[in-house]
Amino acid sequence: MNKFELKYRLSFFIGCVLILLSAGVQAQQKLQQFKPGALWMDDKGNHINAHGGGILFYNGMYYWFGEHKGEGSNNAYVGVTVYASKDLYNWKNEGVAFNVNDDKASLTQRGSIIERPKVIHNKHTKQFVMYFHLELAGQGYGAAYAAVAVSDKVTGPYKFLRASRVNPGHWPLNIPGGDRRQRINPDDYKTWWTDKWREGVEKGLFVQEHLYSGQMSRDMTLFVDDDSKAYHIYSSEENLTLHIAELSDDYTQHTGKYIRIAPAGHNEAPAIFKRNGKYYMITSGCTGWDPNAARLLVADQIMGEWKLLPNPCVGDGADKTFQSQGTYILPVAGKKDAFIFMADRWRPKNPIDGRYVWLPVQFKNELPVLSWLDEWDLKVFD
């Protein structure tokens, strides 16, 4: 080995040691701030892998459930992960809450698509109930299924119950009886985005088409109201129209009662919260993995009417939701009017590297406002 080679090897070795040391220090250091868009390490020093996620607060602990993502593919090769935290900054990796499997006959086999998992707790059955958007292996985004899984333990393992489209045979509450009898001929509405087509969608073109198979269900969230009633909120009708569907008392089934919101409004990524008796929903438009401007919807009753309001984001980056797409709005336990907007900064070429953008929800004239912060902590709510 010549002198040059020796020097090169030595500096490479020292570099490696320094990187390992700093990773170790980072893993041990307690975080005390949110840094939207930055790498976010768990207790083991790995970037948190819980995309499109949601959080359940249970017994003094926050549980963050999300999509496990690998490199180069959005498909599910692991399942739904779960992390636990007491302070919302520092997260312990609790492993896989819902596992995909190797059974080629299974709907949740390795290689299917599992998106936007959310978990709620049922006080009566004491069960934890997980819903997620499921697409079948090798079938792209064609299935548009809602999947349900349950567990007696918050961190799982969650047992798969079923996956299907939603509420087969049921008309939405806000398509009145008379209108249900009129036959909408799909051949009359072949060209999308025309005024005539919009009218058709509004009248229920896709609701009618999917009436017997059940309504499509893609991007989704769950919401438990103060009276313990739970709701499944999802992009339906080819992602054109949001639905809010009531869940059974044990939370594992749909009751057949649902409403449609903003027909042909093309809303995805619904995230919802309640403040002072009013319901607020922040959604995105539909541009695949690319960010777009968020939308705000407000209602006095969960089952509507919902009113569409302008983008709640303000300032630099507002037109692209600060390069992210919402996934959940978390009420901070023990603090009044404290809500965190949780969003994903997708990295479709390397999904595991997707980042999290968490921002505090501020209020102006009783309406939520989101603005960018490089870093922040929970004191903003005091």
Q: How far apart are the first and last CA of the chain?
A: 63
Nearer Cβ to ligand DGJ (189/322) = 322
Question: How many H helices and E strands in the chain?
Answer: 4, 22
Instruction: Provide, rounded to whole angstroms, the least separation between the CB of residue 199 and ligand DGJ.
Output: 26
Nearer Cβ to ligand DGJ (154/296) = 296
Residue with CB nearest ligand DGJ? 288
Collapsing DSSP to helix, strand or coil, 19 comes out as: helix
Instruction: Provide, rounded to whole angstroms, the least separation between the CB of residue 68 and ligand DGJ.
Output: 14
Give the DSSP H or E segment for 195.
helix 195-203
Within 10 Å of residue 53's Cβ, how many Cβ atoms?
Answer: 25
Report the amino acid identity of residue 52: G
For residue 33 the two structure tokens come to: 């701030």
Nearer Cβ to ligand DGJ (169/288) = 288
Instruction: Provide, rounded to whole angstroms, the least separation between the CB of residue 141 and ligand DGJ.
Output: 7
Instruction: Provide, rounded to whole angstroms, the least separation between the CB of residue 52 and ligand DGJ.
Output: 5
User: Can you name the residues that pair with 19 across neighbouring β-strands?
Assistant: none
For residue 282 the two structure tokens come to: 């922040």
User: Can you name the residues that pair with 357 across neighbouring β-strands?
Assistant: 343
Instruction: Provide, rounded to whole angstroms, the least separation between the CB of residue 16 and ligand DGJ.
Output: 37
Instruction: Provide, rounded to whole angstroms, the least separation between the CB of residue 283 and ligand DGJ.
Output: 10
Instruction: Provide, rounded to whole angstroms, the least separation between the CB of residue 344 and ligand DGJ.
Output: 8
Nearer Cβ to ligand DGJ (53/204) = 53
Nearer Cβ to ligand DGJ (84/313) = 313
Nearer Cβ to ligand DGJ (177/288) = 288
Contacts of 193 (CB under 8 A, 6+ apart): none
For residue 291 the two structure tokens come to: 């960010």
The whole-angstrom separation of Cα 143 and Cα 366 is: 39
Give the DSSP H or E segment for 134.
strand 128-135
Residues in the chain, overall count: 382
The whole-angstrom separation of Cα 66 and Cα 133 is: 12
Nearer Cβ to ligand DGJ (143/154) = 143
Let me know: does 286 contact 239? Beta carbons within 8 Å. Answer: yes
Nearer Cβ to ligand DGJ (108/325) = 325
Residues that bind ligand DGJ (CB under 6 A): 52, 115-116, 219, 268-269, 288-289, 325
Report the amino acid identity of residue 193: W
For residue 195 the two structure tokens come to: 């005024």
The whole-angstrom separation of Cα 83 and Cα 208 is: 41
Let me know: does 34 contact 376? Beta carbons within 8 Å. Answer: yes
Tokens 């959310």 sit on residue:
118
Instruction: Provide, rounded to whole angstroms, the least separation between the CB of residue 289 and ligand DGJ.
Output: 5
Instruction: Provide, rounded to whole angstroms, the least separation between the CB of residue 26 and ligand DGJ.
Output: 29
Nearer Cβ to ligand DGJ (154/163) = 163
Instruction: Provide, rounded to whole angstroms, the least separation between the CB of residue 104 and ligand DGJ.
Output: 24
Nearer Cβ to ligand DGJ (189/223) = 223
Q: What are the strands of the beta sheet with 313-314, ordered from one edge? A: 313-314, 367-371, 362-364
